[in-house]
Amino acid sequence: MIKGFELHQGKLPLLISMPHPGTQLTPEVANGLTARAKKLEDTDWHIPKLYQPIREMGASILSANYSRYVVDLNRPSDDKPLYTTATTGLYPDIFFDGEPLFEAGKCPDVQARADILTNIWQPYHQALAQELARLKETFGYALLWDAHSIKSVVPRLFEGRLPDLNFGTADGTSCDPVLSAELLKTSEHFNGYSKVLNGRFKGGYITRHYGAPQQNIHAVQLEVAQCCYMDEESFAWSDEKGTQFQQVLARLIETALAWGQRHYG
């Protein structure tokens, strides 16, 4: 079995978590997906590439290898719904648009799901918790950035077109409010990129569970509209848009790191 994640340990008090860029499938899931689902359209495409300059800056990077169609690492292990509006669960059985992912009767069974939880979900979260503990031990605090992207138009999940930058801080509980305010302020300088804080995407399980400002762990989720850096139809990376957007990300990350230094320095 392929390992569930890759962890790169950096030299900054910052961990970038990437729960959804993976494209690996377990045999049971591969065997059950419909022809449409095998194209994995709901993947957070190219996220490691998008954050490559942030990795080079010195951030730690935790990225999932398995597809969210196997298990959604940004959902709690008890699968309690995160949103009162339409959403997808721990073991997704539908596309974002509501169509079934699996051929009739071919969803992974209870045992297959239990194995997935043990072999993929738990190791990712163990690695995440351990890396945050290492950063706190080293620096006295840790910044957790949960990196996502999604198609800019998904009628079942949200109305109209999503803003380009969707910051989520669990309605202000997952990080110091000054940090989120500074991220928004930095975003004012990006011509042509729209933004929102705690709009449709307020931060999923990772942001809500690990963000603990009183314990010096500050978590922010950034959901990026995929049209900012790729072609949403072909899923192809766009060099022109991607390179430009990487500069936006670098400014945001620099803002977060500067806040950390000021706050804890």
User: Which residue of 46, 148, 202, 208 would you call a contact of Zn ion, by CB under 5 A?
Assistant: 148
Q: Per-residue x/- mask for Zn ion, residues 23 to 52, rule CB under 5 A?
A: ---------------------x--------
Residue ranges in 70-121 assigned as alpha helix (H): 110-116
CB of 243 to Zn ion, least distance (A): 22
State the Cα torsion 253-239-241-162 to the nearest 10°.
-80
CB of 90 to Zn ion, least distance (A): 14
Give the whole-angstrom CA distance, residue 137 versus residue 131.
10
Q: Which residue's CB is nearer to Zn ion, number 113 or number 148?
A: 148
CB of 69 to Zn ion, least distance (A): 12
Which residue has its beta carbon closest to Zn ion? 148
Give the pair of three-digit tokens for residue 48: 């490691």
Q: Which residue's CB is nearer to Zn ion, number 43 or number 60?
A: 43
CB of 44 to Zn ion, least distance (A): 4
Give the pair of three-digit tokens for residue 213: 């400002």
Size of the site for Zn ion (CB under 5 A): 3
Q: Which residue's CB is nearer to Zn ion, number 28 or number 44?
A: 44
Q: Is 20 in the site for Zn ion (CB under 5 A)?
A: yes
> Which span sits near Zn ion by CB under 5 A: 14-22, 77-85, 103-111, 157-165?
14-22
CB of 92 to Zn ion, least distance (A): 12
Query: Which residues ranging from 203 to 262 are in contact with Zn ion (CB under 5 A)?
Result: none
Residue ranges in the chain assigned as alpha helix (H): 27-32, 47-50, 52-57, 110-116, 122-139, 177-187, 205-210, 239-264
Report the Cα 107 to chain-centroid distance in Å: 24
What's the order of all strands across the beta sheet hosting 142-150? 5-8, 60-64, 14-18, 142-150, 217-225, 165-168, 195-197
CB of 20 to Zn ion, least distance (A): 4
Q: Which residue's CB is nearer to Zn ion, number 116 or number 206?
A: 206
Which helix or strand (DSSP H or E) is residue 168 part of? strand 165-168
Query: What single letter denotes the amino acid at residue 28?
Result: E
Q: Which residue's CB is nearer to Zn ion, number 51 or number 259?
A: 51
Three-state secondary-structure class, residue 193: coil
236-246 in b/e form (b: 16+ CB < 10 A) is eebeeebeebb
Q: Which residue's CB is nearer to Zn ion, number 20 or number 151?
A: 20
CB of 265 to Zn ion, least distance (A): 32
Q: Which residue's CB is nearer to Zn ion, number 125 or number 148?
A: 148
Can you give the binding site for Zn ion, defined by CB under 5 A? 20, 44, 148
